[in-house]
Amino acid sequence: EIMCLTFCEHFSLGSTSYDNRRESSPFINSENDRGQYYDGKNMALFEEEMDSNPMVSSLLNKLANYTNLPQGVREHEEAENEDGVRRVTVMGPQMGTFIGVYLPCMQNILGVILFLRLTWIVGTAGILGSFAIVSMCCACTLLTAISMSAIATNGVVPAGGSYYMISRSLGPEFGGAVGLCFYLGTTFAGSMYILGTIEILLTYIVPDAAIFVAATKEDESAAMLNNMRVYGSCCLALMALVVFVGVKYVNKLALVFLAWVVLSIMAIYAGVIRTVIEPPDFPICLLGNRTLKNDQFDKCLKTEVVKNITYTTDLWSLFCESKHLNATCDDYFSVNNVTEIQGIPGLLSGVIKENLWGDYGPVEMLIEKKSMPSVAVKDNTNDIYKPYVFNDIATYFTLLVGIYFPSVTGIMAGSNRSGDLRDAQRSIPIGTILAIATTSFILVLRDK
């Protein structure tokens, strides 16, 4: 009996090791060394293979646990014991459509492009062209929002936002690809907003705060880029510190920030209405029909008479070799007169009819007012060194569409808060589409 038990025990252990060896091998009839070589190096992707091939599937399961249960349901089930009696009261999400979806979308759509580039787009493409650009971009985002609404109303929308909805509808492969693009888009959008902030700060608010100052006109763009690098890095470090402390403080002040944006837009409309009653005094100096930069001179005059004595002005020195009246001057400066017009003439001046059509052109094209008289000259080689206003880039319709399109993005801000919404299936479609409709109306009015 003792010998029999010993033999049986040895046989059972041997068979167990033999079975384990066969299970670890991807081949039915393989040698021992071959099974050890492929052990743990398989690439199984499906859950039914997890028992025998747990390498990749278990890793994906740890990275993203796909489930149909929303966050509130999971917390509710975890709060119940084995007898089904609830032990802890779990507070569900309390954000509604207005606070959770509508206002975040409004805050993200009304961005820096609206304040910095829309006026330039209208001046370049004209009123009709800019209206077509705004309509195309808004229609594109509206169609995207309708597709997102169809996905949101097709099933339960737990925490995870747009990435979760796409991955559950099209699979984790498409969800991962779209999630990567969404991450890159958000990253580039953050850099765009930082650069826009620095441009407003150094161009309009505190120009003297520039660290790098250009010595010549050719170095102005390089100096501005260096200033953006320094101040942008500081701004990025500040935002990283805010994220490290807690984004919830930013969310609490989101309504305050949105209120300032809305007040700024209302101030624009108030200024337009005021131009009908009393246009502001904003003079622009023209030489012939060419627009001049008035940062190097204070008087739009070639000469001025003081006590019956004629003196030359700073503008004269920019186009002539010396300040003397008999100095040699630029040909275009000699044959054309200097005129001062109002830069903001008002709605009743006919400026809308004049700006209906676009005025595209190549880089370094002179900005001219076609209705003003001008005498042409043959030699224009030195115009680039004169204080004229030029096109800094070549302009065409598709370029303006690409520059303006980031202004209508940000429609995912509401869906990204799906875990905090009381009824995500209802709030995401209504809030997103209403936000797009509201901002589209604002952008069209701003365009006109």
Predicted confidence (pLDDT) per residue in 153-174, tens digit: 876 776 767 777 777 777 777 7
Average pLDDT score, the chain: 78
Cα–Cα distance for residue pair 9/216, rounded to 1 Å = 93
Question: Is 125:133 a contact under the CB 8 Å cutoff?
Answer: yes
Q: Give the global pTM.
A: 0.72
State the pLDDT at residue 213: 87
Q: Is 87 among the domain residues?
A: no
The pairing of strands 290-291 and 338-342 is unpaired
Q: Would you state the structure tokens that stand for residue 338, as one six-digit string?
A: 């200097």
Least-confidence region, from 2-11, 56-65, 419-428: 2-11
The full DSSP string for 371-425 is TS-----S--TTGGGSSB-B-SS---HHHHHHHHGGGG--TTTTGGGGGGBS-HH
For the ranges 2-11, 162-171, 335-344, the maximum mean pLDDT occurs at: 335-344
Domain that holds residue 319: 283-343+361-385
Mark whether 365 and 406 lie in a shared domain.
Answer: no
Q: Would you say residue 448 has pLDDT above 70?
A: no
Question: Is 95:417 a contact under the CB 8 Å cutoff?
Answer: yes
Q: Would you say residue 23 has pLDDT above 60?
A: no
Q: Name which residue leads in pLDDT, 418 or 79.
A: 418
Collapsing DSSP to helix, strand or coil, 138 comes out as helix
Cα–Cα distance for residue pair 371/118, rounded to 1 Å = 24
State the pLDDT at residue 88: 47
Nearest to 408 by CA among 144, 137, 136: 137
Mark whether 436 and 294 lie in a shared domain.
Answer: no
Q: Would you say residue 2 has pLDDT above 90?
A: no
Nearest to 345 by CA among 354, 337, 357, 358: 354
- Mean predicted confidence (pLDDT) in 422-444: 87
Q: What tens digit of pLDDT does each residue of 254-266 get? A: 778 888 888 988 8
Mark whether 239 and 367 lie in a shared domain.
Answer: no
Total domain count, the chain: 2
Q: Is 24 among the domain residues?
A: no
State the pLDDT at residue 25: 43
pLDDT band at 22 (very low <50, low <70, confident <90, very high): very low
- Residue 284 is given by DSSP the state E
Q: Name which residue leads in pLDDT, 55 or 322.
A: 322
Q: Would you say residue 83 has pLDDT above 70?
A: no
Q: Is 263 among the domain residues?
A: yes
Mark whether 221 and 336 lie in a shared domain.
Answer: no
Q: Is 253 among the domain residues?
A: yes
Q: Is 324 among the domain residues?
A: yes
Tell me which residue has tokens 């999971």. Answer: 74
Count Cβ atoms below 10 Å from residue 446 Cβ, excluding itself: 21
Q: Name which residue leads in pLDDT, 344 or 253.
A: 344
Mark whether 275 and 294 lie in a shared domain.
Answer: no
